[in-house]
Copies of this chain bind each other. A is one copy, B any other.
Amino acid sequence: MTGHPTTAPPRARRSRIGPEREAELYAAVMDLLREVGYDALTMEAVATRTRCSKATLYRQWAGKPELVATALRHQKPVTLDRIDTGSLRGDFNCLVDQLDDHRMAEDTALLRGLAHAVHTHPDLLDALRRLLVDPELTGLGALLARAVERGEVHPDTPALAFVSHLMLGALITHPLIEGTPADAAFLRRYIDSALLPALGV
């Protein structure tokens, strides 16, 4: 970023892989994840499928956990930091608009596999938290801070500390209670009936 290309560590250089090639690589990682799961996915298989050398892969990503976490971040259907509709309800609904029911069912299966894998792979949990969860929590914090600034939510509202639990909880518990993945219609009802009332909106 501060521009010392000759002294930068190799991993910071992106000269070998352009954005299009990167997107191809991430798509291949997602395909392999769906096909064989995290445990059976190898850097070797990614290299073979993408006709990329393993050396190039390791130059760009520290290892399998980072490659998988970055691929997930690249493919994720929702980007919180571009949402700013002017109202909290609008922001939450914009978030749901970005979700695709079919894609969501597919992702649920993928995330379930990863949720299982993190318990035997602490390095995967670490990479996912660092590259995927923490940026989302930061984005959510900014969205809520704007609602407080606008005067929509009182700054002392206790539920502000639990919005990530409330949102993620709706996605995860629906398959357990209703037996099917959460869909956009359910999430809209949940936002209006439970999430916004908890925030006093």
Contact = CB atoms under 8 A, between A and B. Distances in A.
A158 B194 contact: yes
Interface string A136-168: 010000000000000000000011011011101
Chain copies in the assembly? 2
Main secondary structure of the interface of A (DSSP, over half): helix
B119 A179 contact: no
A117 to B, nearest CB: 10
Interface in A174-201: 174, 176-177, 179, 189-190, 192-195, 197-200
A165 B170 contact: yes
A100 to B, nearest CB: 21
B194 A166 contact: yes
A173 interface: yes
A166 to B, nearest CB: 6
Contact of A119 (B112, B177, B192, B199): B112
B197 A129 contact: no
Interface in A41-84: none
A157 to B, nearest CB: 8
B165 A169 contact: yes
A176 B112 contact: no
A125 interface: yes
21 contacts: A112-B119, A125-B179, A133-B177, A158-B192, A158-B193, A158-B194, A158-B197, A159-B197, A161-B189, A162-B170, A162-B190, A162-B193, A162-B194, A164-B177, A165-B174, A165-B190, A166-B194, A168-B173, A168-B176, A197-B198, A197-B199
